[in-house]
Amino acid sequence: MLHSFEQLTPLPALPVVPNSWETSHELRRILQDIFINTPRLAHDVFQTKGNFYQAKPLAKHWGKDNVTVLVNAGLLTTHESGGYMNAPYLITEWADNFYLTDFPDTGHEFEVFSPHVEQHGMVDSLTIGPCCCVIEPFVGSGILLLEAVRRGNTGIGIDMSPRALAFARYNADLNGLADRVEFRLGDIQDELPAAIAEINDRPIVILANPPFEPGGEDRPKHSAAGVDGTDALEAMQKIFSGLPPIDQQKISQIHIVTFSLGRKSKQQNTAASDLVVAPIMAGMAEAFGGQCFLKELRRPSAPLDYIRNIFPNDTGEDQTRVADNIYERGYRGIHLVTVSIYCGSQSINPAEVLHWQPYRNNAFGIGPKIPFETPLHRRTMPRKNALVP
Ligand SMILES: C[S@@+](CC[C@H](N)C(=O)[O-])C[C@H]1O[C@@H](n2cnc3c(N)ncnc32)[C@H](O)[C@@H]1O
């Protein structure tokens, strides 16, 4: 059941303090202290919903002034009894940056997508150096783009949700990155080609964690991506193929994280051997005369088992619904991949290639079946799923 935009809690205004690349927001420094010195309490207050805290113990742990700053910033709510309630936002710390999003699974149509394993995987494997312009279609709360910008790039984020962009701007301000990044409201069909056309002085890198859930018309807009979960990928392919050659040449790398679905179960890498996204990615690589590489962030597994593993914070009902959509469409294997397209003659760092697999050696079952090896892969072996027939 979806709700209207007005039913969502509005984002609080960030208190105005001097803010630049050198001096990030006071609130960020307070959050950093709290997450370092009282990690369990920080998790309780900023990563769980609906808890009450007495005023005195909280002030004792965090300092009275800091608690006041958090209250003024809307990240703690005063309670009539004199204590505090936690805010209706999820606050996540990654690499010393803090990101506000909605909690997962609010049931709201315009829920702002929260950090999941896919952003983590993508950030972990992000190899872009400084001096690029990073453009992120489907930018959401800005996590990927801000991480790329933090490494010395400038950025343009595009999203059709005003609520998502309010969070992205807030997060840019909070982390002292606002002067390097801009956010544009609109459909990627219009805004992505326009942004690419504007940039003439730096190589462009495209990053995307697009919606990629199959089916799920009742799902929040951040995830639903048509019958096979490929609507957003197809839209990007169409945009890239339709760019004038002068704009195509500006793009140096494209990194996309997505589900890959397969029709067979249980065998290792069968999801990859029946990869729904491969032809789309091949089409994108072709538009740029580039090479396309897949990196597996999780080994393939049966859908429900897989969804439970990678979306542990979502409710059971939500996990089952996503998995059902996948089963209904005849898919039995699923895994999470990043797809990287290195455009034109751009050279690739050999150390990186070690862990990457050209899609043609895996996606269509041609060539040796070399198992993927990544640190993530080794940490999380899939559990056996009793629900697969
Ligand atoms: C899965 S969320 C990802 C958000 C962000 N990239 C992240 O990793 O947290 C997808 C986002 O794409 C946006 N979106 C979906 N279709 C779009 C379109 N056609 N044009 C622009 N934004 C779109 C949604 O509003 C949502 O914020």
What are the percentages of helix, strand and coil residues in the chain, rounded to 5?
40, 20, 45
Please tell me if the CB atom of residue 222 comes closer than 6 angstroms to any atom of ligand 1.
Answer: yes
pLDDT of residue 58: 93
For 230-275, write each residue's pLDDT tens digit: 899 999 999 999 999 899 888 988 999 988 887 765 555 555 556 7
pLDDT score of 19: 42
Q: Which residues does residue 385 pair with via DSSP β-bridges, in sequence order?
A: none
Q: Please give the sequence-ordered ranges of beta strands (E in DSSP) within the chain, or none if there are none.
A: 52-53, 76-78, 84-86, 90-94, 97-101, 133-137, 154-159, 181-185, 204-208, 251-262, 291-296, 333-342, 357-358
- Beta-bridged to residue 364, according to DSSP, are none
Write down the pLDDT at residue 110: 84
Pair of tokens at residue 69 = 């700053």
Higher-confidence residue of 26 and 382: namely: 26
Task: Indicate if ligand 1 lies below 6 Å from the C-beta of 160.
Answer: yes
144 lines ligand 1 (CB under 6 A): yes
Out of 26-35, 93-102, 135-144, give the one with best mean pLDDT: 135-144
- Which pLDDT belongs to residue 215? 75
Q: Which long-range contacts (CB under 8 A, 24 or more apart) does 232-236 make?
A: 232/138, 232/208, 233/258, 233/277, 233/280, 233/281, 234/280, 235/188, 235/189, 236/137, 236/188, 236/192, 236/208, 236/210, 236/284
Q: Is 220 in the pocket of ligand 1 (CB under 6 A)?
A: no
Q: State in Å: Cα 256 to ligand 1 middle.
A: 13
Average pLDDT over residues 284-306: 77
The structure tokens listed for 344 are 């034109």
Residue 123: the pLDDT is 78
Query: Is the pTM higher than 0.75?
Result: yes
Domain extents in the chain: 2-88, 105-378
Higher pLDDT, 103 or 381: 103
Tokens of 13: 């205004």
Protein residue with its CA nearest to atom 12 in ligand 1: 138
Binding site membership of 139 for ligand 1 (Cβ less than 6 Å): yes
Tell me if 216 sits within 8 A of 224, measured CB to CB: yes
Predicted pLDDT of residue 56:
92
| Fold observed for domain 105-378 | Rossmann fold (3.40.50)
Confidence band (pLDDT; 50, 70, 90) for 357? very low
Distance 115 CA to ligand 1 centre (A): 13
In this prediction, residue 11 carries a pLDDT of: 66
Phi, psi at residue 200, to the nearest 5°? Answer: -130, -5
Return the pLDDT at 312.
73
pLDDT cut 90: percent of the chain above it: 29
3 state DSSP class of 81: coil
In this structure, what token pair is assigned to residue 299? 């080994």
pLDDT tens readout for residues 192-202: 999 999 999 88
3-state secondary structure of 370: coil
3-class DSSP assignment, residue 186: coil
Average of per-residue pLDDT values in the chain: 77
| Mutation pick for ligand 1 pocket among 169, 222, 310 (CB with most ligand atoms within 8 Å) | 222
